[in-house]
Each structure stands twice: as structure tokens, then as C-alpha cells.
Amino acid sequence: MMKYSYFPGCSMDSTAVTYKKSFEYVADKIGLELFEIPDWNCCGSTAAHTKNEKMALALPARNIALSEEANPGLDIVTPCAACYSRLAYSTYAARNSEETRKEIEDIIEMNFKAEPEILNFLDLFSDPEVKEKCREKMVRSLKGLKVACYYGCLMSRPRKITGEENPENPMKMDAIIEMTGAETIEWDFKTECCGASHQVDAPKEARPLIEKIFRNAAANGADAIVTACPLCNMNLDMREEEINKLYSKKYNIPVFQFTELLAVAMGAGAEQSGIHKHFFPAFDRINEVIRANWEEEKKKAKEEAKKNPLADGPIVVGKAGK
Amino acid sequence: MGNLTKEQIQDRIREEAKKALATGEVSCVVGWTKTRFPDKTKPFFAYTDAECDLLVWNEYCINSTAKYALDDRYPEQKIGLITRGCDSRALNRMLKDNQLKRENLYIIGVVCDGKENPVCDGCQHKNPLTYDVLIGEPVEETINEKRFTEVEAFEKLSADEKYEYWAKQYDKCIHCYACRNACPACNCVECYADQYRVGWQGKAADREQNQVYGLTRVFHVGDRCIECGECERVCPMHLPIMRQTKKMLKDINDLFGNYECGLPDDSKPVLGEYKLEDPDEFM
Amino acid sequence: MARIGVFICHCGTNIASVVDVEKVAKAAMQMPDVVFATDYKYMCSEPGQAMIKEAIIEQKLDRIVIASCSPRMHELTFRKMLKGTTINPYMLEIANIREQCAWVHTDREKATAKAIGLVQMAVAKVAKNKPLSAGTIPITKKALVIGGGIAGIQAALDIADCGYDVTIVEKEPSIGGHMVMLDKTFPTMDCSACISTPKMVEANAHPNITLKTSCEVEKVSGYVGNFEVTIKEKAKYVNHDLCTGCGLCQTKCPTKVTSEFDQGMSKRSAIYIPFAQAVPSKPVIDANACLKLKDGKCGICEKVCPIGAINYQDEERFTTEQFGAIIVAIGYELVNWEEMYPEYGGGKYEDVITGLQFERLVNASGPTEGHILRPSNGKEPKDVVIIKCVGSRDPKKGKSYCSRACCMASAKHAHQILDKIPNSRVYVFYMDVRTPGKGYEEFYDNTRKDGAQYIRGRVSKIYKEGSKLIVKGEDSLLAKPVTVEADLVILATAMEPASGAYELAGKLGIAVDGDNWITEAHPKLRPVETQTNGIYLCGTCQGPKDIPDTVAQASAAAVKVAALFSHDEMETSPMVSSVDPDKCSGCGFCVDLCPYKAISLVEYAGRDNGRKVTKTVAKVNEGLCQGCGCCNAICRTGCIDLKGFTNEQILKEVDALCL
Amino acid sequence: MDKILNREEGRLLAERIAKEAGVNVRECYQCGKCSAGCPMADSFDLMPRQVIHCLQLGDMEEIFKSKSIWLCASCHTCSERCPHEIDVATLMEKCRIEAQAKGYCGQEDVKLFNDIFTETIRYFGKSQEVILEGAYNVASGHLVQDMENVPKMLKKGILRPEMNTVRDKDAIKKIMEKTEEGGAVK
Amino acid sequence: MSVKKDSSWEPVILAFCCNWCTYTGADTAGLNRMKYPENVRVIRVPCSSRVNPQFILRAFQKGADGVLVCGCHPGDCHYATGNYYTRRRFMLMQRLLEYNGIDPKRFQAKWISGSEAAKFRDTVIKVSAEIKALGPNTKFAEGYYAQNEGGNE
């Protein structure tokens, strides 16, 4: 059953345009049924739990309660690591203390049973059925692209919330990316913090965290970093150029959402995957890989039986392209 | 009930009893015979063919035959026993307690069709579980949902109500040990209660001695009780003895998992084993 | 009629200041069967004991009660005293009126009343005491040592030198254990192999020692002085009676697998002698690697063996032998740090190694012939980080205990690196430095003087950038996060009990603690004994320790064995259970219950219905019974009874309580 | 003047905070693994390890006035790696909330950003990144921060001028008001 | 039931203590001069598993107001497994007594190790106070019935 209650989160409607486009493309391809939670609100993010614990529990709880009402029996998926963490926290707190659950109900003035499981997109795409569907839809190979999967903090830690068995070296995204033919590298900053929550209010202190991530990715030979969170992605993508300037580096590592790579491998063009909308140029890199693979296929095909080349060639840049 | 009429069963019993005696290996067959009261039978030892024809089967065949096997723990010849479900569980009990040897027994199992005995209403095993020859087709086993309802109700009383109740009961007890003598789980060679010199308890039939006997008895048979109800049936003062033993059985079921005695498996009495993960209330 | 004497001790003022001892003595005189009662300053003193002995004669006492300190204190003293009198040593009961009365109460009146009550209980009990005498059992004067590391070797040599036979069972193909893998030993920097191999050779050559390598203990039954042990000898595929140890086979063997002895840092052949100084210096075939045994191909060793000692049909064998005592010396293993610490790379970096791997690396007979080289590229490291407490003192990821030897081992490694690699830098991340041992602190001092930089803090992460390992820690004395770019990282990994320790303890019927270390009988006073008589322990199977402590413990265990063997037979405690066969129903309930397997069902000529019959009844093996009384409480007839704590005695005590 | 360690008040407060976090700070043996793995520790004036030490001592003043509790990114690396399973991150958070209630602020910009963030939630129900960044830049005086990215965003259609808000605004307001009445969850 | 509330009344409490853990713990309590009520009397047994349930009935019969059975913590038994049997036995015993009208506070089992002197003291203080609050035990007590001519207790 590929039916889920869907909590997009605030970023999905604004900055995470590439995530949104590519996910919608993939969801459509594989026939995912998503029911957006009606009139959802912000999860409160870092700000709420920095200021007020009850607020941090109640804001996400309203969304869960709405979901229980509108989409009964469905688990909730959310693309954002922060939203995921906050929703999961509320669920955890309510499941572990009846008193807390009641208190939250009193605050939000709704029934709140904390029944649905909270899933992030990596959980969603690790579902065997979803994975199988994805695999069926692959038409291009991203072979030759060396990818560093970046998970960030909130999908890995704390363990009691995420259920991640190995928060030092998670493998869910790697397994998803491998379906596209891209190669995932072993590196050491999969779950190191990128400092997204402090990039605005404490830039001086937080910028080095980004640099370290790029440094380790580069040192381990990554062509690209892949994320599964709008905040991680924007933080790395938007600031790569600045980092290069600030630290006199020449990192040339585009930062994709994992859904973009899935979409591209399923045959999406730029407009459909949003791949050309990155701050740091990402389009060319992926196109090179696809072209190389395509030409090799073509050569092979010619050599073998002079059959027609594959239907899907390199991406044709739409009118919004460069 | 079953596929045979009472008369047919009776005929088959007599036939099997004669067959058993004819082999020469079996010295006698224990069953029931009629008395001068139409609604009573008595236990009966058939040594000859003629005596076999006196064996009866009707709804008044109530006494347990199994315990008679203990009369001769070291028989020179096999003892034949007419055995219902409850008797066979009693035999299993005594076999597990090493009081009998299976090879000394010739068991004629009869699928029971219920007796004029209130305890039969809750019977979960009408089919004999151990036998050499079986009379009647096995019937489907039932589960007694009300196994512990009486105990559960009694548990709800206040401490003083419970005590008062039992005190009154034990005031009646005349210390006759009929319950012990009828019980298949009471199979010691020499009962502790007869060992006056050690000083386990006094001889007097007063409330305190009766209480101590009553509770000690629960501990001695509680994890071996096959719920045949013989103790209560033979009690001349009509003490609700089963209400005590069933309490222990219920607690065992609650604390250590499903438990029923007298089945032909290799389970041990609960107090003779332990599990590391047993609940611990004594921290 | 019993004639009981009661003796109330003042214990100086310890008892007398709270309890009115004279009043207790007076009250005792009124108790049934008491014919004499008195008080005295110190009952345990010479004059006190003399007074008791005198009273026994004068008053014709046949049993006594002493009200004094805890029986755990002086019960033995007074029993010994009674040995020289007309009274059996077990016709004694002690009322504990010090620890459990005078010391815990302040109200003189109430305390005195309680003391009288306690005396009353003891009087009631002693009236039912019976004379007991200790039995004797013969002793098989042959010891089994399980484990052929330095602990086992030392213990075996000491026992053998006392003139007794010893068998060493070792699961590996050679004895030697961990010590022979080490390069140097702290703090003296002796060559470890040079001091341990002579012991190995001596053990092999000793006329009283039998070596059984590639063997494991399969089953143990019996009791002190008379253990029956089944030993499993694994298939070696080489007839060691024929083999001369020429080693031709291992040079010709085409299959190479990683060497256990070199901690995975070199290769060995499928038919192999584990290391150059191995004892016995004869090869075995590794069935998991050998082509012939796996696929039926190859067979080269058989062809080249000049003696025909190769036997591919070899099978495991079981032998059963009698032993009088067993020493457990199965040692330790290092924890699997790769699983515990993904943040240290979880094993994916070749240049992150354990201390034991470093020992092989720095050893002249090791894979690099003693040159410290980075496993990844064979180059000499300049910046080396040593991390302590990897798996130790880490209740979440590893073990909560301190592994004791690593502080010194790490200091040694730091010293060796600084000594062997000019211009090298060593950083030691530590939380505490523990050097309790002779010459240890001085050694640590010197290591620091050599230039080892100690940094107080636990390392949080190791990762790789380029060819360097980035080690992230906090310098907690600076209160600053610090980073070291290292070429080599050595982890001082925790010790844990050898695999199979738990199972072996089960076979032997001895206890292990929560971490599976074998538990000693008493942490202070019986450190090399186990709770089972006749089974001793030594070395790291009891807990992490270094070589000096291990060897000392081994000799201590050997003395215990020698002391046991110095008698032809031994006394057993008479306070054991026994069965009244006439009352016993033979239900066998007690048999399964007994933790020592001391009870069995036996045939007994009894009577039933006036007829002679052969009954089946329970019988207690007094050599095995430890006197716990578990069987007593479960026996419905009460026919099994613990001497010294009989049903009758305890019931009388209970009765006396409430008089 | 020397720090006086045996002050009851701070100790009781520290004990309460630790209890709320479900942590026994006495288990900490100051190994420093938390600080060593902390991504923000370079900017901390008090190492996470020292925060725990102050909690052990009951020296809350030191914690409340520190920057560290504000700069903590709640990445939970410390809690994950602690050998004694001390939830350092949650303690940091509890200390920060407590400090705020007591009127301390070791890092004005962080507080400001969080305040603006919660205000946007109060009024719109959803986070408004444009308003958030703009309001923060004006309020903090960092006028040009991140502004170089704005034209790019507009050009690529990443930022849209239209507003995204919750329909049931009262519900959100009520949640905010109700939660601001009380403090920590029991 | 009316219990004469005589303030000077002290309960009689019997404690069966295993030699290796609780008896040692009680000795240690003495060694450390800890204070607890006088009304507890210890009977030393080698192991808590030596305690026959009949001893407890006997104690109540002879007028004990409370009975304690103390042994090593499960897993720490000197004889390896004895206290696991103790645990089963006395969980059932406590329930059976309750079923017969005896307050479960009057019969308790506790695990107290040799080093837990303070736990021994605290247990005695607590149990003693609990039983004092319950008043004298008349149920099962020998002679009580005869004296009171079957009167209501």
C-alpha cells in the first residue's frame, strides 16, 4: 500500500523548489498516493524548542491530530528533516507519557492519539514496495557519478527518536541512490551537523561547519553531495560559492536532493526535476554523466545489433534553462 | 456423547476386562459395580471372568480408580484399571511422581460421557490421555472458560471477610484426612502430617491446626493438582477444598504461564523449576 | 534429657554496655534443659574457652549455647575448642547478640529482652542438635589446567614441581597465549617472547606435565578430588607422534590465509605452525582453508611429507580422565572495537590498529620485522595517536570496567615509537593515567620525558582526509577542541573474557559476573578459588590484569592445588543433606532441583505392605552436596533433611521465638 | 574572589534541570568526548563537558551567562557518543530555556532570530522565509547578510512574493498563548 | 475487627536470612552501628531456598506478627540458583496467604546482599512500622480462638 498522509513543511512551498518538483515527478511516476494534511502549520522548527518545550510539542501535534482526523490510519511522511524530527518528538513524548499526551490535547484542543508513524523521505523510499516501483521506472543510468550521501543530524539522532541503528554511518540513502547507477562513496561527514539552524543568526560560528563537509566530501572524491532535506540542501547549495570565497577554496561539488537524481534517472528533464535551479551550478555535471552513459549505450547498441538508441537521450534544456 | 451407548460401553468394558485377565499378566481389573442404591456405585476389583460381569458403567461411576493403583506400588502382576480422562490424568500424575511404573499398569481407557458429579461440568479432558486400549471414539476437548471464576470472585472479598470465611470452614474440619487419601497428588509414602515427632503440626482438630494443614496441603498439591475434585467430594464436612488449590493454580497460570497438570508431557511441577525471566516482586 | 550450658559473652563492653548480660544469664537458667548459665568478659579468649571446657566437665554438659558475636565470626573458633572436649563440635549454637543486638539497639531494656529471645531460640535449636562428623573422600592427585597461556603454564609448572601430574588443555595449536605475541613487557622492557618461550619449552619437557593442544573441555562431572573430565581433541590432520616438525609442508602449501598470531597483519599457510617458537612445534591443518579438505583437491602436504604424518581422515576424539583439581586459566580477548565504535571508522581505516596489532608490528619476528610501518602504505609514521579506554570505562558502547593493563601498555607503545622513529611525535589521549605497580609510575614519567604528549580527553571521531587520519578530541585541560593529523592511530582496546567463558563456567558449575569474568569465591580472602571446591582460577579469566599479577595468581592457585594434593583424602563438611530412605517416596523432585547434581535416585531394599521390595529412593552424594537446603524445602515428606539445619531444629527455633 | 561551591540554590536548580531531562549528571566523569565531537565547540566559551561539570557543581550562573547554550545546534552528537548515556543536548536545551526565563542571554542574535521566527508562526502559522530573513536583518543590523542570494532566488523562482498562511489562525494563536503561560513539560 | 491499640505493643517479626547475603548484611549493619527496631529476630539459614513455606505458617501459628524471608539477589545466589526457587515459592505463598485473609505486608520477601546493610536496616524499619500499623496478628494464631470462644475478631 503506497498511501501516506503528507506533511510538506514550509520550505517545500518556497525555497525547496528542486525538491518539490523532483519529488512530484517521482511520486507521479511510481504512483504514490499522498494526502496532504489540511491546513497544516509550521512544526516550530529549532526556534520553538529553543524557547519553549510545550510549544515545541504542541505545534507539530496539531498537524498529527489533523492528520488523524482527515487521513485516519495513514502514516505521515515529511520531506524535511527538521519537520520529521519535531513530529517524531511529539509522537515520542505522547506515546511515552499519558500525562504529556493529555496536556498536549488540552493545548491544541483536539484529539491527539499519536498513532501514526512519522516517516521521513528516506524511510519512505526504503519501503520495499516503493523501492521496487522506483527500480522499475529507471530509464537512465547515472553510472560514473560519485556521490556523497549527506544525512545530517536530525534524521539520525537522537536514536530514540529516529530509530536509526547506526547514527555514525547510516546507509538508507546510499541504498536508494545506488538504484540510479550512481556510485556512493564512503566518507566521514554523513551525519555531521551543517549548522543550518545558526547560519542566519551566527554565521561567523556556523560557516566553518559547511566548509568541513565540503572538505571531507572532496577529500574522499565526491562529484556531488546528495541530501534529503530542504534545509540541508539550501544551506550547502546556497553557500558553496561563499565558502569558496571565504576560505579560498575551489570546491566544485553540486548539491542535489536525492529525489532529483531519482527523477533524472527516471527520465525527467530539467524543468521536471528542477535540476537547473540550483545556486551552485549542478546541471552540467549531471548532463555530462548522462551523456557519457548514453553515448556508451549507443556505441554498445550499434556494435551489437545496430538497434535504435534508447528513447531517452540527454536532457533537453527547457526555456527556463541557462 | 461419543458413538456408543452406555450399555455398549459397559459390554466393552467387561469384554476388555476379561481379555486382560485372560492374558495372565493382569491380576485384577479395577472398575465400578452397583450397590443397593440405584444412584450409587462402588469401586470394584474384578479378579475373575464372573466378577468382570459385575462391572458397570453408568452416570454414577464417580470414584477415581487411579488411586487404587497405589495400594500396591510393587505388584507382582499388572493391575488393570478402567480409566476415564480424569483417572488417566491422575495416573499421569503418579507416574510423573515416580509412584507407579507404567509397565505395572494395564489401562483400559474409556471416553467419558459425564457423570453425576458437579466437577464434571468443568472437565477439559474427557478423553483418556494414557491407555493401552481405548473404548469409544475420542471427543473434541473443551476449554473451561470458568476455570477460575470462583477464585476470582473470592479474591475480591476483604481480608477479614476472606479470613472469616476460611476460619468457619476450618472450624468444621475434623482432621480426617479423607481429602489426602483421595487425592492422586497426595502420594507420599509417609505424609508429613503423620510425622508428629518432627513437629510440623499438632494433632488436634482445632481451627489453627486445620488451617495449617489446609494451607500446607495447598502447597504440597497446588502445583500438581489435576482438578479432579475428589478431595471435595470425599470431604464429610463439605469443605470447599478446591477453592484453595485452584487459587494456587490460578496464580501459577498468571505468573508463570499456562499450566495444567497430569498431561502426558515432560513438564515439571512449577515449584521444581524456575526461569531467569520469572517476575520479581521482591526487589 | 539434654544438658545445655549457656555462656553469655560481654565482648568487653561491646555487648555488656547495651545488654544486661547477667540478666540474660539468669533468664537462661530458666529455659528448658539448661543446667548451667554464666557470663564472661571474653568467651573467645583463652581463659574464656578454658572456663567453657571446665563447665562442660563439671556440669556434664552435652551441648552448649554461646551468646556472643556473629557465628560468622567465631563459630569455627568454638568448634575447634570443642574438639578437645567430650562434646561433638556440632553440639553448639551461637546466639548473635553483638552484631544483631547490642550494636544495633540503644534501649537497654529492649535489647536485653531481645538478647534473651535470641538465646531462647538458640537453646531450643541446640536441644535438637545431633553430633556430626566429617566424612572423608579420596583425592586423585592429578590437576587439570584449562588454558595454556602464561597463567596456565606457570600454574602447571608449579604444581608439577611439587611432584603432581598436570594436564594442560589448550584450544589453540600452541601454548603461549597472548604473552608470546607481545614484543616487550613493561616496565622492564624485557623481550616478552624471550622470557615466555623458555617456560613453554619447560612445560613441554616436564615429566609431570602433559600438553593437550587443539583440545577443549567438553564435559565435567564429579567433585573436589574426583572430577571426571571429558576432553575433546580437535582434528589436527597431522599425526604429531610421527611429525618431526621439519616444516616442509608449510613452505609448500599453496593456500594463504590471514594469520591469527600476527593479528591479521600477515599471512600463513593452511597447514601451519602458528609461530616460530610454537610448542609443540608441529603443524596442524586449518580445515576451513585447506583445499584438500574443502574440495578434495591439492594434497601437496601429504606428498611432500617425508614421514607420512598427514592424515586427511583425522577426526575429533573424546577422552575421559580423572582429575583431583581444576585450574581455570582461559585468559582474555580484546573487544570487537569495530562494532562498538563506528565513529573511529569502524575498522575501515587500515592505519587504525589495536595495541596487540602494534605489538606484532614492532616485534622483530612480526610482519614488518620490527619496523613500525603504516599498514596502508608501508611508510614510517611520524605522527602517532594513542587512544586509551577504547571499550573500557564506556558503559554505553563497551564495558564499564577499567582494563588495567592498557595505561602501561600505551606508555610502552609511546616509548617504543619515540625510540624507534626519530623525530616522531606521539599524542596519547587519556582520561586518567593509572599506574599502580612497581616501577610503573617511573616508566610513565620517563615516557613523558621522552616526549610523549599526553592530552586529557576522550577522542570523539577519527576520519580520513588524504593520507592523514584526523583525530578529533578535546584537550579538557585547555577546554578546547583539538585535532591531530595522524599517520597511525593505536587503540588501547578493552579486554573481555575469552569467548566460551560463559559456557565453560556452566560446564564447571562456577559463577561468572555480569561481564562473564569468572567470579572468585571471595574478592579479598579467596581470590584464586571459585565457589566450587576444587576449582581454582588464575590470570585474566577472573578480570583484566597484567603479567606480574597473572603469574602471581597462577602460583597462588598452584599452591591451593598442592595443598589439596598434600593429603590422601579430604574431610567433607558434615552439614549436608541426607535422605531417610524409609520415608522417601522417590518422586525425584529434589534430583532436578539440586544445583550441584548431588542427588540421584538409587535402588533401596525396603518394605511395602509388609513385603520386601526394591524401592527407588533419593540419595545425596555428600562429596557434592554444599548444604544449601534447597531440596529440603521442596520435599513434601520432609525425608531429606539438612544436618545442622534440620526441619526439627528450625521449627523449634520458630516456636521459641514466640514463647 | 574565589568561587564558592557549596551554594544550595544553584544545586537545587541544577538538580531540577537534570531531573527534567531524565539525566543523572553525577555519572559524567569529564572525559570530554562531547566537546571533542561538538561541531560548534570552536565557538563555545564553555565546553559541553564544562556545562555538565557546572551542573555537577550547581554553578548555574556560569552556564546561564555562557554563549554555548545559545550556540548549541541541537545536533545530538554529544548525546549519541557519551559513554554514560548522558543526554547533553537536552541538558543544553533545558539550560537555555531556563536562562531565557531568568532573563539571561549570552548571544543576542540567536535569541532575536528565534523570537522573530516564533512571531512569524504566531501571525502566519507557517514560516515565511522572506519576512523572517528581512525582519532579522533589520532588527539585528546585519542589513546585507545573505542578500547577495536574493536576486538569484527571485530569478530562479525560488522565492515567490505571495504569502502562504494557515487558514485557522486562531488555533495557532491559542497554542502560542497557552504554551507561553507555562514553562517546561512535566 | 477491633485491635487493642496499645502504644507499648511491639510486634514480633521473624526474619529468615540467608547466611551468605542477608545475614552478612545484618552483621554489617551491626558493624556500622546502624539502628533499627528490636522486634526483629533473625533465623540463620544457609540459603533462602531452605525456607519451607510450612515454617512461615508455623510462625504465624505461634504468634508472629510478621515474617520476612531474605536472600541474595537473583543471579547472586551463593548456591547459584537457590533464590530462583525462593522467588517462585514465595510469590505464590504471599498470594495464598492474602487469599486466606493475611495482609501481604505481614509476609514479605526481600533481596538484600551482604553489602546492603543500609537496605537491611531500612527494610526492618519499614516492615516493623507497617506491621505496627496493622496491629497484632490474630489470624492463624494458636490459642487465640480458644481464648476468645470463637468471638469476632
* pLDDT-derived band at A245, boundaries 50, 70, 90: very high
- Residue B38 domain boundaries: 6-135
CATH label of the domain that carries residue A193: 3.40.50.11810
* In a domain? residue A297: no
* In a domain? residue A276: yes
- Is C651 within 8 Å of B187 when comparing Cβ atoms? no
Residue E4 has pLDDT above 90, yes or no: no
* pLDDT-derived band at D182, boundaries 50, 70, 90: low
CB < 8 Å to D35, chain C = 457, 460, 474, 476, 479, 481
Joined together, the cell numbers standing for residue C314 give: 583425522
* In a domain? residue E72: yes
What is the number of alpha carbons within 13 Å of residue C498 lying toward its C-beta?
Answer: 24
- Is B160 within 8 Å of E101 when comparing Cβ atoms? yes
**DSSP secondary-structure letter at C378?**
-
pLDDT at D186: 39
pLDDT at C607: 84
CATH label of the domain that carries residue E54: 3.40.50
Angle between helices D48-57 and D88-101 (to 10 degrees): 70
Whether B37 and B113 map to the same domain: the answer is: yes
Backbone angles phi, psi at C17, to 5 degrees: -70, -20
Query: Alpha-carbon distance D80 to D57, whole Å?
Result: 24
pLDDT mean over C387-402: 95
pLDDT mean over C618-622: 91
User: Chain C interface, mutation test: which of A188, A192, A205, A211, most C Cβ atoms within 10 Å?
Assistant: A188
Joined together, the cell numbers standing for residue C13 give: 563492653
Query: Alpha-carbon distance C452 to D83, whole Å?
Result: 26
CB E82 within 8 A of CB E45: no
Q: How many domains does chain E have?
A: 1
Q: What is the pLDDT of residues C583-596, one digit of tens each?
A: 999 999 999 889 88
- Residue E40 domain boundaries: 13-137
CB A164 within 8 A of CB A170: yes
CB < 8 Å to D41, chain C = 474, 481
By C-alpha distance, the chain C residue nearest B216 is C636
Whether B32 and B113 map to the same domain: the answer is: yes
> Which is nearest to C659 in space by CA: C61, C127, C123, C23?
C123
CB < 8 Å to B188, chain C = 585, 587, 636-637
Walk me through the domains of chain C, giving residue ranges and CATH numbers.
4-126 (3.40.50), 142-234+316-331+498-565 (3.50.50.60), 248-304 (no CATH), 333-496 (3.50.50.60), 577-643 (3.30.70.3270)
- Is C472 within 8 Å of D36 when comparing Cβ atoms? yes
Whether residue E149 lies within 8 A of chain C, CB to CB, comes out as no
By C-alpha distance, the chain E residue nearest B152 is E99
Q: How far is C465 from chain A (nearest CA, A)?
A: 5
Joined together, the cell numbers standing for residue A138 give: 529507471
- Is E38 within 8 Å of C114 when comparing Cβ atoms? yes
* In a domain? residue B170: yes
List residues of chain E with CB under 8 Å from any CB of chain B: 1, 53-54, 57-58, 61, 74-75, 81, 84-85, 87-103, 108-111, 139-146, 150, 153
Question: Cα C234 vs. chain centroid, distance in angstroms?
Answer: 25
Q: How far is B189 from chain E (nearest CA, A)?
A: 19
Backbone angles phi, psi at E11, to 5 degrees: -70, 160
Q: How far is A304 from chain D (nearest CA, A)?
A: 43
Q: What is the pLDDT of residues A170-227, one digit of tens each?
A: 999 999 999 999 999 999 999 999 998 899 889 999 999 999 999 999 999 999 999 9
Backbone angles phi, psi at E109, to 5 degrees: -120, 145
* pLDDT-derived band at E1, boundaries 50, 70, 90: very low
Query: Alpha-carbon distance E152 to C79, whole Å?
Result: 51
Which chains neighbour D (Cβ–Cβ under 8 Å, 3 or more pairs)? A, C
- Is C629 within 8 Å of E45 when comparing Cβ atoms? yes
pLDDT at E144: 57
Q: Beta-carbon neighbour count of residue A181 at 10 Å?
A: 17
Tell me how far CA of residue A166 lies from CA of A157, C343, D76, D82, in angstroms. Answer: 10, 10, 14, 15
Residue A321 has pLDDT above 50, yes or no: no
Joined together, the cell numbers standing for residue C377 give: 602504505
Whether A46 and A78 map to the same domain: the answer is: yes
Whether residue E118 lies within 8 A of chain C, CB to CB, comes out as no
Q: How many domains does chain B have?
A: 2
Whether residue A44 lies within 8 A of chain D, CB to CB, comes out as yes
Query: Alpha-carbon distance C403 to C141, whole Å?
Result: 36
- Is B219 within 8 Å of E98 when comparing Cβ atoms? no
Amino acid letter, residue D48: P
CB C468 within 8 A of CB C485: yes
Whether B89 and B188 map to the same domain: the answer is: no
By C-alpha distance, the chain B residue nearest C647 is B198
Q: What is the CA radius of gyration of chain D?
A: 19
By C-alpha distance, the chain E residue nearest B155 is E99
Q: What is the mean pLDDT of chain E?
A: 87
pLDDT at D180: 83
* pLDDT-derived band at D135, boundaries 50, 70, 90: confident
pLDDT mean over C347-352: 95
Q: What is the pLDDT of residues B1-56, one digit of tens each?
A: 447 889 999 999 999 999 999 998 999 999 999 999 999 999 999 999 999 999 99
Residue E105 has pLDDT above 70, yes or no: yes
Residue A320 has pLDDT above 70, yes or no: no
Q: What is the pLDDT of residues C79-123, one digit of tens each?
A: 999 998 999 999 999 999 999 999 999 999 999 999 999 999 999
pLDDT at A293: 85
Q: What is the pLDDT of residues C450-485, one digit of tens each?
A: 999 999 999 999 999 889 999 999 999 999 999 999
Residue C264 has pLDDT above 90, yes or no: yes
Which chains neighbour E (Cβ–Cβ under 8 Å, 3 or more pairs)? B, C
Q: SS3 for C233?
A: strand
- Is B247 within 8 Å of E95 when comparing Cβ atoms? yes
Q: How many domains does chain A have?
A: 2
Q: How far is C397 from chain D (nearest CA, A)?
A: 6
- Is C474 within 8 Å of D36 when comparing Cβ atoms? yes
Handedness of CA C536, C538, C541, C543 (dihedral sign): positive
Length of chain A: 322
Whether A16 and A78 map to the same domain: the answer is: yes
- Is B222 within 8 Å of E92 when comparing Cβ atoms? yes
**Strand pairing class (B105-110; B133-135):** parallel
- Residue A108 domain boundaries: 3-122
Q: Beta-carbon neighbour count of residue A230 at 10 Å?
A: 28
Q: How far is B191 from chain C (nearest CA, A)?
A: 6
Whether B160 and B120 map to the same domain: the answer is: no
Whether residue D106 lies within 8 A of chain A, CB to CB, comes out as no
Of the residues B76, B103, B135, the one at which a domain ends: B135
Q: What is the pLDDT of residues A28-79, one digit of tens each?
A: 999 999 999 999 999 988 888 888 889 999 999 999 999 999 999 999 999 9
Residue B208 has pLDDT above 90, yes or no: no
Query: Alpha-carbon distance A95 to A116, whole Å?
Result: 11
Whether B15 and B76 map to the same domain: the answer is: yes
Select the residue of E34, E64, E82 nearest C658 (Cβ to Cβ). Answer: E64
Length of chain E: 153
pLDDT mean over D104-128: 87
* pLDDT-derived band at C272, boundaries 50, 70, 90: very high
Whether B11 and B129 map to the same domain: the answer is: yes
Burial class of A33 by CB neighbour count within 10 A (0 to 12, 13 to 18, 19+)? exposed
Q: How far is A230 from chain D (nearest CA, A)?
A: 12
Backbone angles phi, psi at C329, to 5 degrees: -145, 55
- Is E47 within 8 Å of C628 when comparing Cβ atoms? yes
Residue A318 has pLDDT above 50, yes or no: no
Q: What is the pLDDT of residues C413-454, one digit of tens each?
A: 999 999 999 999 999 999 999 999 999 999 999 999 999 999
CB A69 within 8 A of CB A61: no
Residue B165 has pLDDT above 90, yes or no: yes
pTM, two decimal places: 0.71
CB < 8 Å to B273, chain C = 592-593
Q: What is the mean pLDDT of chain D?
A: 86
Cα angle at B90 between B86 and B96, to 5 degrees?
Answer: 140
- Is C346 within 8 Å of A216 when comparing Cβ atoms? no
Q: What is the pLDDT of residues A83-120, one digit of tens each?
A: 999 999 999 999 999 999 999 999 999 999 999 999 99
Q: SS3 for A268?
A: coil
Which chains neighbour C (Cβ–Cβ under 8 Å, 3 or more pairs)? A, B, D, E
pLDDT mean over A128-150: 93
* pLDDT-derived band at E79, boundaries 50, 70, 90: confident
pLDDT at C532: 81
pLDDT mean over D158-166: 69
| A-to-C residue pairs, Cβ atoms closer than 8 angstroms | 20
pLDDT at D123: 86
Cα angle at B208 between B204 and B212, to 5 degrees?
Answer: 95
Q: What is the mean pLDDT of chain C?
A: 94
What does the domain layout of chain D look like in residue ranges?
8-101, 108-179
Select the residue of B188, B199, B268 nearest C648 (Cβ to Cβ). Answer: B199
- Is D29 within 8 Å of C393 when comparing Cβ atoms? yes
Whether B162 and B247 map to the same domain: the answer is: yes
> Which is nearest to C533 in space by CA: C521, C517, C522?
C521
- Is D80 within 8 Å of A279 when comparing Cβ atoms? no
Q: What is the pLDDT of residues B91-127, one digit of tens each?
A: 999 999 999 999 999 999 999 988 888 889 889 999 9
Alpha helices in C229-326 (DSSP H): 248-252, 291-295, 300-304
Residue C615 has pLDDT above 80, yes or no: yes
pLDDT mean over D98-111: 90
Select the residue of D79, D113, D129 nearest A14 (Cβ to Cβ). Answer: D129
- Is B159 within 8 Å of E140 when comparing Cβ atoms? no
pLDDT at D130: 74
* In a domain? residue A313: no
CATH label of the domain that carries residue A66: 1.20.1050.140
